[in-house]
Amino acid sequence: MWDQVLRNPEADYDFWHKKGFERYAPEIRENFKARIILEVFIRKWNRKRIIPLVTDYLSKYETNRMIDEVREGIGYGVAESDDLKLSDLNGREETWESVIRKHKGKKIYVDFWASWCAPCVDQFQYKDKLKAKLGDQVVFLYLTLSDKEEKWKQAVEKYGVRQNSYMVTNSRSSKFVEEHKIQSIPRYMIVDENGKIIHVNLIFHFKF
Chain segment 155-181, per-residue pLDDT in tens:
999 999 999 999 998 887 888 888 888
Q: State residue 68's pLDDT score.
A: 93
Residue 94 CB coordination number (10 Å): 17
Greater confidence, 142 or 130?
Answer: 142
Stretch 2-15: mean pLDDT, rounded? 81
% of the chain at pLDDT higher than 90: 52
Q: Measure the CA–CA gap between 84 and 96, rounded to whole angstroms.
A: 5
For the stretch 94-115, pLDDT in tens is 999 999 999 999 999 999 999 9
In angstroms, what CA-CA distances link 45 with 70, 75, 97, 189? 11, 14, 27, 24
Residue 208 confidence (pLDDT) above 50: no
| Residue of 190, 188, 128 lying closest to 163 (CA atoms) | 128
Q: Measure the CA–CA gap between 46 and 27, rounded to whole angstroms.
A: 28
On whether the CB atoms of residues 104 and 191 are closer than 8 A, the answer is no
Q: State residue 151's pLDDT score.
A: 95
Q: Please, which residues have CB within 8 angstroms of residue 191's CB and are 6 or more apart in sequence?
A: 100, 107, 108, 110, 197, 198
What pTM was estimated for this model as a whole?
A: 0.70
Task: Specify the pairing of strand 138-144 against strand 187-191.
Answer: unpaired
- At the topology level, CATH places domain 85-199 in Glutaredoxin (3.40.30)
Average pLDDT, the chain: 88
Q: State residue 90's pLDDT score.
A: 94
HSE-CB for 59 with a 13 A CA cutoff: 6
Residue 117 confidence (pLDDT) above 90: yes
On whether the CB atoms of residues 95 and 161 are closer than 8 A, the answer is no
Question: What is the full DSSP assignment across 21-49?
Answer: TTTS-HHHHHHHHHHHHHHHHHTT--HHH
DSSP 8-state assignment for residue 124: G
Stretch 135-151: mean pLDDT, rounded? 91
Stretch 4-17: mean pLDDT, rounded? 83
Q: State residue 204's pLDDT score.
A: 53
For the stretch 63-99, pLDDT in tens is 999 999 888 888 787 777 778 899 999 999 999 999 9
Ordered by start, the domain boundaries in the chain are: 2-74, 85-199
| Residue of 140, 83, 79 lying closest to 113 (CA atoms) | 140
Adjacency order of strands within the sheet including 197-199: 93-95, 85-87, 165-168, 138-144, 107-113, 187-191, 197-199
CA angle 110, 115, 121 (to 5 degrees): 65
Q: Measure the CA–CA gap between 158 and 162, rounded to whole angstroms.
A: 9
